[in-house]
Structure formats: C-alpha cells, structure tokens
Amino acid sequence: MILRPAKKMLLNSGDDGTRFIMLVVVMMSVLSTLAVGGALTLAHLRSTWVDAVAGHITIEIPASDGQGLVRSPDTLHEKATAAYAALSSTPGVTRVDILDRRDVEKLVSPWLGEAVSTNDMPLPVLIGVTLSAPNDEALTQSIRSKVSAIDPPSIVETHQSWLADLRRFSLILLLAAGGMATITIACCIVAVAGAVAARLSEHQNDIDLLHVMGATDAYIGQEFVDSVVRSVGGAAVIGTVLGLIFIKIGAAVAGEIQNAMLPAMAWKMADNLWFLILPALVTLLCYFAARFTVLRSLGTMP
C-alpha cells in the first residue's frame, strides 16, 4: 500500500523530463518518416527507370553513310525496313518499333531549341527493340551482327553503361536515406537513455526510500520504463503522422514536376506498412534502451 503513492510521485514529478523525451521523439520520428518516405520514393523511381531501360535496345541508323554523305529518306527507310524484318524474326526479340520522324524530332528539339526547324534537317532513324531476356549477351551480339550486316554505320545501344551508373547512384541515395533513418532513431534512443538516467538521478532519494521499504530493482525499474514507453509510444505516433503530412504536402507541391519529368508515383500497400512499423520500432528500441539504462543505474546505486 505504501508503494502506490511512491509510484505516483515518481511518475508525476518529472513532467519536464517527460516533455523533453516526447519532443525529441516527435522530431526524430518526423525525420525518420521523411527518410523512409524518401527511400520508398527513390526505390520506386529506381525500379521504374531500370525496368524502362533493361531489356531494351536502341538502334540508330544514321543519316550519313559513315563517309560524310547524307543519305536520302528512301534509303534510310529501306535500311530500317530490312532491319525490322530481320529483328522481328529473331528468337528472343518480343517487339520491334520504328520511331516516326515526328518522334525523333521531339527527342532532338530540346537540344536544338525552338528557333531551329527540323523539317529539312537530315535525322537518323531510331528502332526500339524489346528483349525477352534483358541480360542475354548472345542475343545482343546476334542483333549487332544482323544490324551491322544490313547497315554497317548503324549503332546498337544497349544502355548498359547508363543503367549501371543509374543503379550505382540510386543505391548510394538509398543507403543515404537508410542511414539517415538509422541515425535519427539512434539519436532518439540516446536521448531517451540520457533522459532516463537524469530522471533516476533526480529521484535518487525516492529510490533509496523504496529500497528501504523492500522494493526490488526490477519493480522500480519497471515503473520508470512504463512511464517512458507510454510517452515515447504516443510521441512516435504523432511524429510519424506529422511526417506523413509533410510527405503529402511535398507530393502535392512536386506534382507538376512529377508530371513533367518523373514517372507517376504509386506506393503499394506493402510500402505503407513501413509507416506502421516505424513508430512500433522506435517505441520497442527505446523500451530496451530505457530498461537497460534503468537496471544498470539501479545496479550501481547503494
């Protein structure tokens, strides 16, 4: 019966410390949520870009014959038609598309500027080839041989170097986002552990009294840990919700950029689970940090 008032005193006399813990956890949870959201967005873009490039080959039939002489549109059309027929019958090739001249003009217009007309400009013919197996080197080499036999100046681009750079760069960004989330959660754990240690020191006289009355370290520590977990759990949920609000605002502001430059974003249900796991993970780690700190501190007290 005597322990109940002592328990109440321990939980209610450290309001400033509780507010500090909650504020730190809210801020760290917001940053962690933003980092996770950024990582999910980057992973989606990485997958979209890689899927759009992997397994695709671009064949360029240049407007010149390799000796500086410009070829006629009829000659280019003849070469493109022959390449189309040869590649369409190649096992492992699922689709062959010859880009219309207007599509090629759209591709080069950003580099030439609006003031330059491409109506009378000699332009290459571009052929897009889709493979059933993206990493089939034998098939790629067969395509090179067939295209070279039809038109030696033609260029076969597999985009492998660009794709490797994209994968490497996006992986670095993913690791950076994951590192940011990890560091913020670690800072949250350190802050909670420090606040718990300070609160124990503040209530050392009360703890000594509880020891005299026969309370064990496990009982005393559990009172502190329960108080911390309640505060941290609520703060982690609040921080995660605030982080999601910031993400939604950012997505709305970047909508025009996304429509113009980036593929459409659509998180899957599994992606949303990360935002449910995050506050639970923060609370669990802070629980273990608080429990370890409390038991270690109580063990050193007389």
As a whole number, the mean pLDDT across the chain is 79
pLDDT classification of 240: cutoffs 50, 70, 90? very high
Q: What is the pLDDT of residue 11?
A: 38
More confident: 274 or 251: 274
Q: Is residue 271 part of a domain?
A: yes
Q: Give the separation between CA 225 and CA 223, rounded to whole angstroms.
A: 6
Q: Which of 153, 183, 212 is the last residue of a domain?
A: 153
Which range, of 85-89, 104-108, 192-196, 273-277, averages the lowest pLDDT?
Answer: 104-108
pLDDT band at residue 24 under the 50/70/90 scheme: confident
> Would you say residue 25 lies in a domain?
yes
Lowest mean per-residue pLDDT among 142-151, 176-185, 202-211, 240-249: 202-211
pLDDT of residue 260: 45
Is the same domain home to 277 and 170? yes
Same domain, 87 and 236: no
The one-letter code for the residue type at 276 is L
Q: Are residues 131 and 81 part of one domain?
A: yes
Q: Are residues 169 and 149 in the same domain?
A: no
Residue 57 lies in a domain: no
pLDDT digits (tens, 9 = 90+) for 188-212: 888 888 887 777 776 667 676 766 6
Q: Which residues contact 282 (CB under 8 A, 6 or more apart)?
A: 25, 28, 29, 32, 185, 188, 232, 236
Least confident interval from 19-23, 32-36, 93-97, 207-211: 207-211
In this structure, the answer to whether residues 170 and 228 fall within a common structural domain is yes
- Please report the pLDDT score of residue 302 as a whole number: 56
Instruction: Name the band, by pLDDT with cuts 50, 70 and 90, for residue 48.
Output: confident
Q: Is the model's pLDDT at 3 over the cut of 60?
A: no
| Reported confidence tier of residue 17, pLDDT bands at 50, 70, 90 | low
The answer on pLDDT for 152 being more than 50 is yes
* Residue appearing with tokens 């609160």: 199
CA angle 247, 249, 250 (to 5 degrees): 65
- pLDDT for 1 beyond 50: no
pLDDT band at 238 (very low <50, low <70, confident <90, very high): very high
Q: What is the three-state SS of the chain?
A: CCHHHHHHHHHHCCHHHHHHHHHHHHHHHHHHHHHHHHHHHHHHHHHHHHHHHCCEEEEEECCECCCCCECCHHHHHHHHHHHHHHHHCCCCEEEEEECCHHHHHHHHHHHHCCCCCCCCCCCCEEEEEEECCCCCHHHHHHHHHHHHHHCCCCEEECCHHHHHHHHHHHHHHHHHHHHHHHHHHHHHHHHHHHHHHHHHHHCHHHHHHHHHCCCCHHHHHHHHHHHHHHHHHHHHHHHHHHHHHHHHHHHHHCHHHHHHHCCCCCCCHHHHHHHHHHHHHHHHHHHHHHHHHHHHHHHHCC
Summarize pLDDT for 122-132 with one digit per residue, the tens.
Answer: 888 899 898 88
Summarize the confidence of residues 74-79 as an average pLDDT: 88
Q: Inform me whether the pLDDT recorded for 114 exceeds 80.
A: no
> Does 246 map to a domain?
yes
Q: Is residue 261 included in any domain, yes or no?
A: yes
Rounded mean pLDDT, 14-40: 82
Query: To which residue do tokens 């003031």 refer?
Result: 115
Q: Check residue 167 and give its pLDDT.
A: 82
Residue finishing a domain among 153, 180, 207:
153
Give yes or no for residue 8 having a pLDDT over 50: no
* Mean pLDDT computed over 287-299: 79
CB-based contact 104:59 (threshold 8 Å): no
Residue 58 included in any domain: no
Together in a domain, 220 and 90: no
Is the pLDDT assigned to residue 64 strictly greater than 50?
yes
CB atoms within 10 A of CB 2: 11
Give the model's confidence band at 10: pLDDT under 50 very low, under 70 low, under 90 confident, else very high.
very low
Domain interval for residue 142: 63-153
The answer on 170 and 206 residing in a single domain is yes
Please state the rounded mean pLDDT for residues 148-175: 85
Q: Summarize pLDDT for 255-272 with one digit per residue, the tens.
A: 554 444 455 556 677 778
Q: Are 219 and 244 in the same domain? A: yes
- Does 238 lie in the same domain as 139? no
* 158 in any annotated domain: no
In the listed set 153, 176, 202, which residue is the last one of a domain according to the structure? Answer: 153
pLDDT of residue 51: 72
Closest CA to 239 of 19, 7, 12, 25: 25
Residue 290 belongs to some domain of the structure: yes
* pLDDT at residue 239, as a whole number: 92
Our count of domains for the chain comes to: 2
